[in-house]
Chains A and B, each alone.
Chain A
């Protein structure tokens, strides 16, 4: 008995400890400024989704049509690294860059998803990412009918453009795409011409790039090779001989600053794959802040209503259930912080609903205890039987919710995942806390005598079945 009481007190203290931890680790509540060096608690803030913190969510389609299918996944991950470096250069806090591989539910596109918390200026964000240079090497198009046709087309397009009619871009008549792109770049270096002092950009390819470069130069001796940056030619040197070793130079009449910038950009990564923006979402910070406030308000009101209901209807066990519920809320919030779970509006909704579902286990147990009392059992026996017999109903009624949560998590987008995770975790943790904690509290009170007062404490609201033994006194819930 005393052992149970000690454990019960320990759990209560733990509950207070956890709630203190949650309170202290929220900078807005405790006054600890995030990133204060040495402050352990500030390392565990709630991780807020974009819809709550405000920010920009960008979805890009990667054009992998030029890439061999075996290399797609490599290119995609290097694309991710490049964009990540690019985004990090701009000092966004906690950006996430993910690649979405084609699964059974996808439409066969390769996507790059970029989340930028606190960046609400889409244009700025798009520019930030778009600034990553796309480096291409092109060779001269051989003279012939094809070239003439393309030149004609280009001229027509120019005329139309002068008249204000926009036309779709025409293929470059002078140069042809080669497989050599920024993908094969190892690094870029700033160089100066020894004679003229002109700033130049030195390129060093990786082994594969070196081979390609050698091949291209070998095939084009005496011709021009054009180096394109972001779709426009910046340098068109003449090839004098095949170049092995994988080093090249761009001399494009750069000022030293321009050359330096270009080197920086090339080193942060040339885009291995061209990308196109297909979806944008921006949430202003005011909207997110209001959603958080509303979410907390809804959770508190829901909790208070449930507490009032439980105490009025189930009296003493109800009160214990409310304490267990409060401990559950502290525990789950701590889990959200430690894992960490990214909280979104839908995730908060899932959490709030799990508060309601959490109480289900208690309701099942208390109803069963009342039934056992009606059969004439003592309170202590009724509690024991109530817990053991309610277990199967609790298991059954939570299984389907958890299954649903798992499936939603599996197939969901980030929005749905947020809901499924908090809801599923909530149902699972609450089931355990409702059973274990409430049970411990009930037993540690050691109520065994069926006195009139004890019977009142374990009675409940109204009953719908008229029974002869008047163990449960009728009460009224107002």
Chain B
């Protein structure tokens, strides 16, 4: 019951986080990675210690390869970002990076994506996002197809969707921060993370709503607030525990896993955390608000009728 009694506070926390995320995204924007916009990423290691960035900038400034940025990585590495490179351009760049062979270099990773490939990835991502959202909406519609009282069944769906928007807005906001302060870029894995969050967290919300409906049918209490409160209590441990196990592995992936999936694990952890939060602390309180509004409207109608 604690959650329903203090629903205002939890709702405010959610609103604050979502607003903050939206502000961050509109202020900083998102850094789009080469997956989507095309470009090249060359990771080179200097076994004898890496030179200053300014030296490399001087060495590469006459190459007419457009803007080149250098980002230190690890102890001896640089990640060099540029426009997409053809094979001869790639060779020229490597030559310049080794200061015409005077510095020992080792290329660890080279990735050049042409603009048309990036365009296609963008298109594919859009399609997946569209279809996952569509599938989620259909899934919600299916799960709530049975009518129940006292709150009309169609209201569960939009509330579940509001909760989902909350679950993915916050990770996007975090990504905006990461992009601004740590140079993290939006890549295909980021899109995958968001969609997986959608898939896992919609189930969480539905489980709580399912229990509410079951309890409404069993009439465990005449009071709607009480029914919702007790439903949350009943599902609380399992909601937390099912998410906790996934968060355990995600954190393990974040701390010990491969470099390439580190941001992915972080974004998924944040998304799942807020996904669980929203199914307990946001969706159900919203349901109670929806009920209160519905009651008020009915009371008004009733008053009008009485006056007549």
Q: For window 101-148 of chain B, which residues contact chain A by CB distance below 8 Å?
A: 106-114, 116-117, 119-121, 123-125, 127-128, 131-132, 135-136, 139, 143
A407 to B135, Cβ gap below 8 A? yes
A284 to B200, Cβ gap below 8 A? no
Q: A122-B87, A349-B264, A356-B248 are in contact. Are A290 and B258 (CB under 8 A)?
A: yes
Q: For window 66-125 of chain B, which residues contact chain A by CB distance below 8 Å?
A: 84-87, 90-91, 106-114, 116-117, 119-121, 123-125
* Most chain B CB neighbours (cut-off 10 Å) among A279, A367, A392, A463: A279
B203 to A396, Cβ gap below 8 A? yes
0 or 1 for each of B242-274: is its CB under 8 Å from A? (1 = yes): 101111111011011111110011001000000
**Quick check: is A400 within 8 A (CB to CB) of the other chain?**
yes
B192 to A302, Cβ gap below 8 A? no
Q: For window 74-128 of chain A, which residues contact chain B by CB distance below 8 Å?
A: 104-107, 109, 120, 122-123, 126
**Quick check: is A213 within 8 A (CB to CB) of the other chain?**
no
0 or 1 for each of B219-259: is its CB under 8 Å from A? (1 = yes): 00000000000000110111001101111111011011111
Q: A410 to B119, alpha carbons, bound, how many Å?
A: 18
**Quick check: is B172 within 8 A (CB to CB) of the other chain?**
no
B110 to A403, Cβ gap below 8 A? no
| Beta-carbon nearest neighbor of A325 in chain B | B245
**Quick check: is B18 within 8 A (CB to CB) of the other chain?**
no
B253 to A465, Cβ gap below 8 A? no
Q: For window 285-335 of chain A, which residues contact chain B by CB distance below 8 Å?
A: 286-287, 290-292, 294-295, 297-299, 301-303, 305-306, 309-310, 313
**Quick check: is A401 within 8 A (CB to CB) of the other chain?**
yes
A309 to B131, Cβ gap below 8 A? no
Min distance, Cβ A375 to any Cβ of chain B, angstroms? 12
**Quick check: is B178 within 8 A (CB to CB) of the other chain?**
no
**Quick check: is A423 within 8 A (CB to CB) of the other chain?**
yes
A353 to B139, Cβ gap below 8 A? no
By a CB distance below 8 angstroms, the chain A residues around B203 are 396-401
**Quick check: is B207 within 8 A (CB to CB) of the other chain?**
yes
A345 to B120, Cβ gap below 8 A? no
Min distance, Cβ B207 to any Cβ of chain A, angstroms? 6
By a CB distance below 8 angstroms, the chain A residues around B84 are 278-279
B192 to A419, Cβ gap below 8 A? yes
B257 to A364, Cβ gap below 8 A? no
Q: A123 to B85, alpha carbons, bound, how many Å?
A: 13
Q: A423 to B197, alpha carbons, bound, how many Å?
A: 13
B237 to A367, Cβ gap below 8 A? yes
Tally of contacts, chain A with chain B, CB under 8 A? 236
B116 to A107, Cβ gap below 8 A? yes
Q: A305 to B251, alpha carbons, bound, how many Å?
A: 10
Pick the contact of B196: A290, A353, A461 (CB < 8 A): A353
| Beta-carbon nearest neighbor of A52 in chain B | B258
Q: For window 399-458 of chain A, which residues contact chain B by CB distance below 8 Å?
A: 399-401, 403-405, 407-408, 410-413, 415-416, 419-420, 423
By a CB distance below 8 angstroms, the chain B residues around A287 are 43, 108-109
A400 to B109, Cβ gap below 8 A? no
Pick the contact of B110: A281, A290, A371, A465 (CB < 8 A): A281
**Quick check: is A359 within 8 A (CB to CB) of the other chain?**
yes
**Quick check: is B189 within 8 A (CB to CB) of the other chain?**
yes
B260 to A291, Cβ gap below 8 A? yes
**Quick check: is B167 within 8 A (CB to CB) of the other chain?**
no
Q: A405 to B87, alpha carbons, bound, how many Å?
A: 36
Q: A363 to B268, alpha carbons, bound, how many Å?
A: 20
By a CB distance below 8 angstroms, the chain A residues around B125 are 411
By a CB distance below 8 angstroms, the chain B residues around A460 are 237
B234 to A371, Cβ gap below 8 A? yes
Q: A126-B87, A397-B242, A405-B199 are in contact. Are A463 and B237 (CB under 8 A)?
A: yes
Pick the contact of A360: B119, B128, B135, B246 (CB < 8 A): B246
Q: A416 to B204, alpha carbons, bound, how many Å?
A: 24
Interface size on A, residues (CB 8 A): 80
B87 to A313, Cβ gap below 8 A? no
| Beta-carbon nearest neighbor of A402 in chain B | B199
B109 to A282, Cβ gap below 8 A? yes
| Beta-carbon nearest neighbor of B91 in chain A | A123
Pick the contact of B256: A120, A294, A345, A346 (CB < 8 A): A294
B106 to A284, Cβ gap below 8 A? yes
Q: A247 to B255, alpha carbons, bound, how many Å?
A: 66
Q: A398-B203, A407-B135, A408-B192 are in contact. Are A122 and B252 (CB under 8 A)?
A: no
Interface size on B, residues (CB 8 A): 72
Min distance, Cβ B90 to any Cβ of chain A, angstroms? 7
B110 to A396, Cβ gap below 8 A? no
By a CB distance below 8 angstroms, the chain B residues around A408 are 128, 132, 192, 195-196
| Beta-carbon nearest neighbor of A351 in chain B | B249
**Quick check: is B206 within 8 A (CB to CB) of the other chain?**
yes
A400 to B120, Cβ gap below 8 A? no
By a CB distance below 8 angstroms, the chain A residues around B128 are 407-408, 410-412, 416
* Most chain A CB neighbours (cut-off 10 Å) among B110, B192, B195, B199: B199
Q: A287-B108, A295-B258 are in contact. Are A279 and B202 (CB under 8 A)?
A: no
Pick the contact of B204: A302, A397, A399 (CB < 8 A): A397
Q: A396 to B199, alpha carbons, bound, how many Å?
A: 11
By a CB distance below 8 angstroms, the chain A residues around B245 are 306, 309-310, 356-357, 359-360, 363
| Beta-carbon nearest neighbor of A111 in chain B | B117
By a CB distance below 8 angstroms, the chain B residues around A416 are 128, 188, 192
By a CB distance below 8 angstroms, the chain A residues around B237 are 367, 460-461, 463-464
Q: For window 27-41 of chain A, which residues contact chain B by CB distance below 8 Å?
A: none
Q: A204 to B49, alpha carbons, bound, how many Å?
A: 58
Q: A301 to B259, alpha carbons, bound, how many Å?
A: 16
A400 to B256, Cβ gap below 8 A? no
**Quick check: is A352 within 8 A (CB to CB) of the other chain?**
yes
Q: A279-B117, A364-B242 are in contact. Are A411 and B131 (CB under 8 A)?
A: yes
Q: 24 A–B contact pairs at CB < 8 A?
A: A120-B107, A277-B86, A281-B112, A282-B109, A295-B258, A298-B256, A299-B249, A310-B245, A345-B261, A348-B261, A353-B268, A356-B248, A363-B241, A363-B242, A364-B238, A393-B207, A397-B203, A397-B204, A397-B206, A400-B135, A410-B131, A411-B125, A412-B188, A412-B192
Closest 10 CB pairs of A and B: A404-B199, A278-B114, A298-B257, A302-B249, A356-B246, A302-B252, A397-B203, A356-B249, A291-B258, A367-B238
Given A126-B87, A277-B86, A367-B241, 19 new contacts (CB under 8 A)? A104-B127, A282-B109, A284-B106, A290-B258, A294-B258, A298-B255, A302-B252, A305-B252, A349-B264, A353-B250, A355-B249, A356-B250, A392-B210, A398-B203, A400-B135, A401-B200, A410-B131, A416-B128, A464-B233
